[in-house]
Amino acid sequence: MRLPLPTFQRLPGLLLALLAAASAAAPPAPACKRFTLQGEVHAGQAWQRPIGGGLVFRLAPDEDTGWHFGIRPARPRAGDELDYISMMTLPLRGQHVTMMDTSYGTPAQDVVAYGRRRFAFLLRPQDAPRAGQLLHRLLWPLPDDDFEQTRQALRQLQSLPAGSGELRIIRSRIERGRSAAGSTEPDAHFGRLHHLAFRLTLVVPATAQTPAGVPTAPAACVRPADV
């Protein structure tokens, strides 16, 4: 009759089994990666950088009110008139996260106090025509479109390959606005933005191209619907 091994003699085998089970249960490696860019602008200046995949991120001056940012192809083709952030990030109308300016009656101090400006963006230029069609359907629905058809169009738009990101203002020089936010008084004064320094963090699929020489780190993917 063969007696069972003492517990201490069975430990190596038990540890191997536990390690194997832990390895099998371990979560998969992150399917996305992130990278960070930093920049600064003075009033009237633009800032632009390639972000990989033939896309560029651009911070553009908006007359005297501040800046707005967006992502577009470095070499636009027919049908590439739409900004890749605006078409993927709600709301689809009105004041938007990409507007870092005093439009819509936003005092300059509120612009810089906004915090993290989170957004999604279309990842592949070849998807722009389809995204444009879906966006048009959402902005100008057909007369017989019901809620379910509208929701389906939004789901289809948000299911297209996308990246995500956030922009955070880390330093600024402004003239504070004297009027309350949203004031419609004829002499309303919302201040001015003279200088911004910012940090831009983008998250893209692990297989996506990123700017040469810019380090990346593993990151959890973010769906457009979760922005």
Decide if 139 is inside a domain: no
Decide if 211 is inside a domain: yes
- pLDDT at residue 220 greater than cutoff 50: yes
Decide if 62 is inside a domain: yes
The pLDDT tens digits of the residues spanning 20-34 come to 443 444 445 469 999
Decide if 182 is inside a domain: yes
CA distances from 166 to 34, 35, 176, 224 (A): 11, 11, 24, 12
- pLDDT at residue 107 greater than cutoff 70: yes
Decide if 113 is inside a domain: yes
Range of the domain at 113: 29-122+163-226
CA 79 from chain centre, in angstroms, equals 22
Decide if 22 is inside a domain: no
Q: What is the mean pLDDT of residues 198-221?
A: 97
Domain count, the chain: 1
Task: Write the single-letter amino acid at 72.
Answer: R
- Taken in order 210, 215, 221, 224, the sign of the CA dihedral is negative
- Strands lying side by side in the sheet with 162-175: 117-122, 162-175, 192-205, 32-42, 217-219
Q: At what angle do helices 128-139 and 147-158 cross, to 10 degrees?
A: 150
Average pLDDT along the chain:
87
Decide if 131 is inside a domain: no
Decide if 169 is inside a domain: yes
